[in-house]
Chains A and B, each alone.
Chain A
């Protein structure tokens, strides 16, 4: 134990309460992955640069590596595990698969969370809005183009380039 002082917190994640004793320096990312085994949210740089740890806090995307778990008390946390309905994928997830917008998959949970938030706010986003939405999340495989196409397709089938996507 790195500190004698533990703190009891209750966090609401994907609609369920989780009560755990943690050291106060525990980040939300550490809480999700290490305390409640929700490992869909990824740990990348852990310094707020790469964006792969993105989750929603009260419906807005935030970096869970920069947020103390204790600060999330009283808020609703949504992770990638809370996006699909059972076995039914969200249209954003379907589109990412269909467009081959996933290679190593490490940024995908964050891309999903960002895109779901965008489409909740802007059901028919422009390509620029899609780019802005994913601008805080680094993908080292795809070059982003397929991710942009997938999100635009999930919004209504237009890939933003005049043609229909398969």
Chain B
């Protein structure tokens, strides 16, 4: 399966890469950024349109490495592979949940190329969009494919937000959200950083706030995390390869000044990751806190039929997975 032709550039320095992006934007030329390429290449093979230039980020040292600043933060280069993330000693020591979650993504071979930055930027999935050309010919093109319809919510019209309900499927995002990660983004104008929770958008096409000319460089996770940690459970048919049909991360920590903070974050069942925290002090009992967390986060998501699991089942599994993993954390606490 041949990809449409493109120019290939592999800049050696971040500055060079950013200048190149600005130049291409200035000339009105298209480009895509590529790290591991494990999400991008299948997309390019299945789409007939050329991307213009493919800018490989794989030589940029500024985007590499795992740096532990004890007592302060764990900094993950956007180019760190999921394989390295899952086996890194510093990650396993500080945030075992990050390593364990990375190890649940895709397959061993894909994890050796796919990156942590790429996982946060992974394209949203929809059963009507991520299909072979033959299958897509059976439907009128949807908004995400450049058409004028949504097969999940047919009454959607251009101008609506969200326009596209393709679901967010990153496994790492819910975990990193509960760990209050921030991301760093570079452009020729300099570097900005923003909390991960402000990064993703509720639309399956625009998806996130990474702008033209910008490169996601690092993910910083502040230390220490929640005292009892974070756990992630991934619901899927196969124990390898599959994106999450539903991914649930939970956290348990102490509030400064007393009390317990319960957190949960979901992936796979909405256009963006959803995160919520409830403080026991504000809610009375532990049970009430967890109940209110489940009720709140369940209201915030809209699962659709996207494969084997019907949406009703996915809705029923949200409290099951939250309670199951919260109990594990409570036993540890």
Binding site for B on A (CB under 8 A): 2-3, 5, 7, 23-25, 27, 30, 46-49, 51, 54, 57, 60-63, 65-68, 70-71, 114, 132-133, 135-137
Contact = CB atoms under 8 A, between A and B. Distances in A.
Contact of A49 (B6, B56, B241): B241
Q: Which of B8, B54, B110 gathers most chain A CB within 10 Å?
A: B8
A114 B309 CA distance: 31
Contacts of B106: 136
Interface in B26-41: 34, 37-38, 41
Contacts of B108: 61, 114, 132-133, 135-136
* Chain B interface size, under 10 / 10 to 19 / 20 to 34 / 35 or more: 20 to 34
Interface string B1-36: 111111110100000000000000000000000100
A2 B2 CA distance: 10
Q: Which of B34, B56, B113 gathers most chain A CB within 10 Å?
A: B113
Given A62-B109, A63-B38, A68-B34, 19 more contacts: A5-B7, A23-B5, A24-B6, A25-B4, A30-B2, A48-B38, A51-B107, A51-B109, A62-B113, A63-B113, A65-B41, A66-B37, A68-B41, A68-B56, A71-B10, A135-B239, A136-B106, A136-B107, A137-B109
Contact of A3 (B5, B10, B41): B5
A63 B46 contact: no
A67 B36 CA distance: 8
B241 A66 contact: no
Contacts of A48: 38, 41-42, 110
Interface in B62-116: 83, 106-110, 112-113
A24 B4 CA distance: 10
The 5 tightest CB contacts between A and B, nearest first, are A136-B107, A3-B5, A24-B8, A135-B240, A25-B3
Contact of B107 (A2, A3, A57, A135): A135
Nearest to B81: A60
Given A48-B38, A71-B56, A136 B10 contact: no
Nearest to A47: B42
30 contacts: A2-B5, A3-B5, A7-B8, A25-B6, A30-B2, A47-B45, A54-B109, A60-B83, A61-B109, A62-B109, A62-B113, A63-B110, A63-B113, A65-B41, A67-B37, A67-B113, A68-B54, A68-B56, A70-B8, A71-B37, A71-B56, A133-B108, A135-B107, A135-B108, A135-B239, A136-B106, A136-B109, A136-B241, A137-B107, A137-B109
Interface in B118-165: none
A111 to B, nearest CB: 12
Contacts of B34: 68
A127 to B, nearest CB: 14
B37 A24 contact: no
B8 A47 contact: no
Interface of B: 1-8, 10, 34, 37-38, 41-42, 44-46, 54, 56, 58, 83, 106-110, 112-113, 239-241
A61 B112 CA distance: 7
Nearest to B41: A66
Contacts of B37: 66-68, 71
A7 to B, nearest CB: 6
A114 B42 CA distance: 22
A150 B239 CA distance: 22
Contacts of A65: 41
Q: Which of A7, A60, A133 gathers most chain B CB within 10 Å?
A: A60
A57 B112 contact: yes
A151 B54 CA distance: 39
A30 B42 CA distance: 14
Q: Which of A60, A62, A135 gathers most chain B CB within 10 Å?
A: A62
A66 B113 contact: yes
A43 B58 CA distance: 25
A132 B8 CA distance: 34
B38 A70 contact: no
Contact of B5 (A25, A57, A136): A25
A27 B44 CA distance: 12
A7 B8 CA distance: 9
Contacts of A137: 107, 109
Nearest to A30: B2
A68 B2 CA distance: 11
B47 to A, nearest CB: 12
